[in-house]
Chains A and B, each alone.
Chain A
C-alpha cells in the first residue's frame, strides 16, 4: 500500500469514527470530479443526487480496500453504479449505431474548430459529448475530462485496459465525426463566419 492509499484508508477510518473534519477533507478532494462525471453522464438534474448517493454509500458501510485500488477509483465506481441505475442502461456496452457513424467519419477533413472561437468550440464539444452513446460519453469523461489513466478508468468501468484504449479511440473518432457533421450544417457555418 503506498502512502496515498494508506492516508486514504486512515481518512476513512477517521470518518467512520465520526470525524467531521476528515469527511470535509475527503469531500473537498473528490466531490467535484464525481459531480462532473455525473453531470456529463446524466445531466445537471441528477448530478447532485449522484454525489450524495456516492458519499452516503461510502459512509454507510462502503468497503474500501486500499490494496485493490485508489479511493478515487472506488468513489467513481460507486458513482457509476448510481449513474447506471439512473440511465437504466442495463448493458452499457450496447453502443447502438455508433460504429457505423465512426466508419463514416472522415479524419482528413478540415478541423471542425477552424472557424470557431474558444467559447464556441467548448460549447460544440460539450453538445457533441452529450450526443454520444453512454459507453463513449463515459470513457471521454473519465479519460479526457477527468484525466484518469487507462488503468484507473479500466477499474471504474470494470473492463480490461485494452478495451478502454480502443473504446477511447472510437469515442474520439465519433466525437470528431459529430463535430464535423454539425459544422457542415449551413447555420453553424454561418455563425462561424460571423464570429471569426
Chain B
C-alpha cells in the first residue's frame, strides 16, 4: 500500500507541475511517459488538473495589443511565410495531451466549454446591459406580422427582387435552445424579413424586440410577439437602421417590457452573426 500511495502521489506531484509548465525538461519527459501508461483514475486527475490550470487563465488581466500585431499576422499568413519554429518544442499541444482528451470530456471540461460558450454568445448581452451611450438617431423600425401564406409569399418574392440580400441565421440561446430564426436583410432598402421558430408565447406585459447590432451597439429594430401555439412566424421589418455588412455585427432577439427598450434589458433568445466573408 505504501508503494501505491507513493506512486500515485508521485504522479499527482508531477501532474500538478506539468499542467503549470513548471517541471524541468527531464521531469516533463518522465511525466509524459507516466501519462502514456496512466490508468483511468490518473487520466481523470490529469484532465481535471489541466482544466483547473486553464481556468486560471480567466483571471489574467486582458491587455490590448497594438493594432500592428493583427496586421502582421494577416500579412504573414497571406505571404505564406512560416512562423519561427526554432523553440517550438512544446508550442503545440503534445500527443499525450491530445491522447488524454480522447478519453472523453470530463465534467469540468464540459462545464468550462459550457461557460465559455455562454461567454461568447452573451458577449453582446452584457455589453448592452452596461452601455449607457447607445443613442438612437434613426426613426424607429416597424415590424408587421405576415399572417397569411399569401402575404408571406408576396413579401418573400418582393425582397428577393432586391439587388442584394443577406441571410443571417440565428441560433436559439440558453433560455430557449430549441428556437431558431432567419433574417433576410435588404440593407440597401433598410428592410428585412424575419422568420422565427419555437419562440415561446410572450408573457403579458412583455414583447420580443429585434436588435440590429451595428458597430457593436444594439439598435432597436422593432417589436413583435408570437401567437399561442405558433411554431413558425414571419414578419416584415421596415425603416431599419442604415447599416451594411461592414457595420453590422449581428441580429439578436431579446424579451423586453411591452413598449420596448432603448437598450436590451431582458434575456436574449436568439442571436445570429452577420457573415463577413468577401
Is chain B found bound to chain A in the same assembly?
Answer: no
